[in-house]
Amino acid sequence: MTRLVFSSSCATYGLAKRKTISEAHPQEPVNPYGRSKLQGEEMILDQRRLKGWKVAVLRYFNVVGRDAAAGLAERHEPETHVIPNILKAFKAGKEFTVHGKDYPTPDGTCIRDYVDVTDLASVHLAALREIETRGLLVSNAGRGRGSSVLEVFAAFEEVFGEAPRRKVGPRRPGDPPSLVADAKFFRSWYPHPLKSLEDSLRSLKD
């Protein structure tokens, strides 16, 4: 029997209608990435109905950190994620641009829920075990705690001892103000400790 763990995304939810987002939140993506992930979910669930696949759909929130022991780290071109771009600016001695400071959040910057990539690897293995009995698992994968861009910047400065200069630029199209997991269901089947944002940042130090 086919078993599949699909890497989906909180981007399928679109604009948060509540402070935290549960798996029952409407899926109304506001950017092409979120739409593509939702389409992937729909195709996989069709296959499950037609062929009886055992399936886990994991809706990641923002993945951070690296597996330092294995020498594995995030690499995108172009890089769009906040933490790698802060690190890139820091190493190059360049200014970091905050994309928008007029969002409806406490400090005006976007809020995201960060989950460590090494934790996520363990979550995948646990999901494979879980679908043996459930058959279908649709779950968020997040800590249930959000950090704004400025809070991430402060955590970076705490871990690295300094941070790059920053300036405020315009918003980027398709960036929801806040994406934070309601992690109750996730923690019910994956109860193991998760790394903090600071722990993930420490993994990025040379």
- Which residues are part of the catalytic machinery? 33
Rounded to whole angstroms, what are the CA distances from 202 to 67, 116, 161, 196? 11, 11, 11, 10
Name the nearest CA neighbour of 60 among 85, 99, 82, 34. 34
Q: Which residues contact 47 (CB under 8 A, 6 or more apart)?
A: 2, 53, 55
**CA contacts within 13 A on the Cβ side of 86:** 23
Q: Which amino acid is at 58?
A: L
Name the nearest CA neighbour of 145 among 112, 116, 106. 112
